[in-house]
Structure 1
Amino acid sequence: MEQLASALGTVIVGVLACVAYFYGSNWLLDRVFPANAASAEKGIKNLQIAHAVRPWLFLGPALLTLGLYLVYPALDSVRLSFYNSDSTQFVGLDNYVWLWFDDGFRQSMFNNMLWLIFVPAMSTFFGLVIAALTDRIWWGNIAKSLIFMPMAISFIGASIIWKFVYEYRGEGSAQIGILNAIVEALGGDPQAWITIPFWNNFFLMIILVWIQTGFAMVILSAALRGIPEETIEAATIDGANGVQIFFLIMVPQIWKTIAVVWTTITITVLKVFDIVFAMTNGQWDTQVLANYMYDWMFRGGGDFGRGATIAVIIMLLVVPIMIWNIRSATRDSKGH
C-alpha cells in the first residue's frame, strides 16, 4: 500500500505541476507582452511576440529533458569510448580495436542478428494476419484488445510471465512450467529450455514477438481499413480468391506501412535488454549488445570505456534506421 500511495502521489504531483506550469507560463507571458498596450501598434507587436514565444513554452521542457537525458548521454558516451576504464586516460581507438577481436562482442552481434531477422518478421507477419482476420469476425475488437494487452506489460513483467511458461524443475519433481507440462502430457521429457544453446535465443525472442504483435496489428489494421473497397471488389469480380486478394491486392497497397512497422520493431530489437537480463542474464550463449554493454559498464568494477564503446555501436546501428523511419513517415504525411 505504501508503494501504491507513493506512485499515486507522484502522478498527482506531476499532473498538478504540469497544470500549474501551463497556466502560470501563459499568465506570465500575457503580462510581459500584454495585448492591451498603450498603443494599438504596441499591442499588435506584443501579440506577435507572444504567439511566437508560446509554442516554445510547451516545447521547452520537452527539449530540455531530451537534451539532458538523451543528447548529452549520447555525446558523452562517444567521448568516454576514447578513454580507459575509469575515464582518466585518453586511449584513442584502443577500445574499438579490442571490440573487433572480442569473442563476447561477436557472440552478442550474432545473437542480435538472429533477433533482427526473427522478431520484426514474425511480429509484422502475425500482426498483419491477425489484423486481416479480426476485421472479418464480429468479435474482432475483443480479439484485438486481448492481443494488444501484452503491450501494456513491461518487458520485465512479460519475462516473469514467460519464466513460468519455460519453468523447469529437476527430475522427479512436479513440473509447473506450462511448456514442460504439455511435453510430459504428450509423453516427452521435460527440458530446461532456456539453457539449450542457440535454440534458447528463439525462446527469448518469442517473448518480444508476443509483445510487439499487438503494436503491429493496430497499425496494420488501420492501414488495411484505408484500402479502397473498389480495388477489392474489382479483384473479386475478376475471380481472385481470398489469399490472392490479401497478398496481391491488399499487401502491396500498405507496403509503406508494413516497412514502417518493421523498422520500428527493428529499433526496439537493437535495444533489447530487459528480456535477456531477466531470463538468462546473457548466460548459455544468449548475450546481446545491450546486456553486454551493461556488463562492461557496471559489473566487476565497471569499464566505462569499453561499455561506452558498445553503446556507441548500438547507437550507430539504430540511428540510420531511425532516420529512414522518420523520413518515410514525413513523406507519407505530405502525400508523396
Structure 2
Amino acid sequence: MIKAIEERRSLPLKTATPRKRFGLTPWLWIGLAVLFVAIFLVYPLFFTIWLSFLDATSTRFVGLRNYLLIFTNPSLLEVLRNNLLWLVLATVATVVLGLLIAVLVDRVRFESVAKAAIFVPMALSFVAAGVIWRFVYEYAPPGQTQIGLLNALLTALGGQPQTWLQDSRFNNFALIAVYVWMWTGFCMVILSAAIKGIPSEILEAARCDGAGEITIFFRIIVPMISPTIAVVTTTMIINILKIFDVVYVMTGGNYGTNVVAVDYYQQLFNFNNFGVASALAVLLLLAVIPIMYFNIRRFRVQEAQR
C-alpha cells in the first residue's frame, strides 16, 4: 500500500492546459447577426419614423402634421375606433371562450377529438378563412336563391336576408366572429395545458370541503393559471392590433370596417401617402411595444422564481 502511494507521488504532475483561444470566428458570426438585424430591423424602424415627419411625397418636413391628421380626420378616427372595438371584443371573446371550452372539454369522454375539432380553424390561413366566411355571409336580394349559409337559414326560418358585410350595424361584429372562430382553439389548447398542470389533490380537497364547480373555477382554477391567462391575453392583443387579412379579404376596409393595418396598406400603395402610412405604422408599433415589454418582464419574473 505504501509502495503504491510512493509510486503515484513519483508520477509527473499534469499541468493545466492553456485555455484555447477561438480567434475571430465567433466575432465574425456575431458581427453578421448584428449586421443582419441592423439592415432588416433597425434601419427600417428609424427610416419609418423619419418618414412619418415628412409629407406625402417624402420631400418636405411637416413635423407632427401626419399624427395630428390621424387624430382629427373623421375617416382615420373611424379606423382607430374600429381597432379599439376589435381589441376589446375579440380579445375578451377568444380568451373567455377558450377558457370555458378548456374547462368543459376536459370533462368529456372524447377529449382529444373535441379539441382537434375546435383547433382545426387554426390550420387555415386568414385569407382562406376570409374566403370561407365571405360565402357564409353572402347576400342575394329577397326572392332570389340565397347562396350564403346564414341568409339561407334566415329565409328558411321566415326571415329576411341581411347584408352582413355591408351593413354597418353588423359588419364589424361579423368580421370579429371570424377571428374568434379561428383563434379560440389556440387559447383553448394553451389554457387546457395550464389547467392540467393543477395538482388533482387540490381540486379533490376543495370538492371534499363542499366547494361547487363554479367556486372551484373562480377560486382555484383561474387564480392558479392566471400567468398563462395573461400570456394568452397579451398574445391575442398583439395579433389583433395588427389584424389585416380578414378585413382586407372580406370587405377591403369598406363599409366602415377599416382598421389600422389595412389603412396603412391603402395609404402606402393606393394613395402613395408615405407620411400618413408611416405615422400609422409608428402608432401601431407604439401600441405593441408596452405589451411586448409586459410579456418579457413576466417571463423574467417567472424564470427568477424557478
Same fold (TM over 0.5): yes
Amino acid paired to 1:92: G
State whether residues 95 and 232 of structure 2, in contact with CA within 8 Å, keep that contact through their aligned partners in structure 1: yes
Residues of 2 paired with 1:160 and 1:63: CA distance? Answer: 40
Q: What corresponds to 1:318 in structure 2?
A: 288
With over 3 angstroms needed to count, the CA separation of the structure-2 counterparts of 1:188 and 1:215, relative to structure 1, is: same
Report 1:1-336 matches (<5 A): 41=17, 44-46=19-21, 49=22, 53=26, 57=29, 66-300=37-271, 302-335=272-305
With over 3 angstroms needed to count, the CA separation of the structure-2 counterparts of 1:289 and 1:171, relative to structure 1, is: same
State whether residues 260 and 329 of structure 1, in contact with CA within 8 Å, keep that contact through their aligned partners in structure 2: no
Residues of 1 paired with 2:89 and 2:101: CA distance? Answer: 18
State whether residues 163 and 279 of structure 1, in contact with CA within 8 Å, keep that contact through their aligned partners in structure 2: yes
Q: What corresponds to 1:12 in structure 2?
A: none
State whether residues 83 and 241 of structure 2, in contact with CA within 8 Å, keep that contact through their aligned partners in structure 1: yes
Deviation, structure 1 residue 138: 2.6
Deviation, structure 1 residue 198: 3.7
State whether residues 118 and 205 of structure 1, in contact with CA within 8 Å, keep that contact through their aligned partners in structure 2: yes
RMSD in angstroms over aligned alpha carbons?
A: 2.3
Deviation, structure 1 residue 309: 0.6
Residues of 1 paired with 2:52 and 2:214: CA distance? Answer: 52
Deviation, structure 1 residue 334: 3.0
Residue correspondences, number: 292
Based on CA coordinates, which of the two structures has the bigger radius of gyration? 2
Report which of the two has the higher share of helix. 1
Q: Which runs of 5+ in 1 are unaligned?
A: 1-39
Deviations 1:96-135 (A, max 9, x none): 2222211112101111111111011110111111111221
TM-score, length-normalised on structure 1? 0.81
State whether residues 142 and 160 of structure 2, in contact with CA within 8 Å, keep that contact through their aligned partners in structure 1: no
Amino acid paired to 1:106: L
Deviation, structure 1 residue 85: 1.1
Residues of 1 paired with 2:42 and 2:123: CA distance? Answer: 27
Deviations 1:48-97 (A, max 9, x none): x38x939x85x877765554444332222101001111212222222122
TM-score, length-normalised on structure 2? 0.88
Amino acid paired to 1:53: P
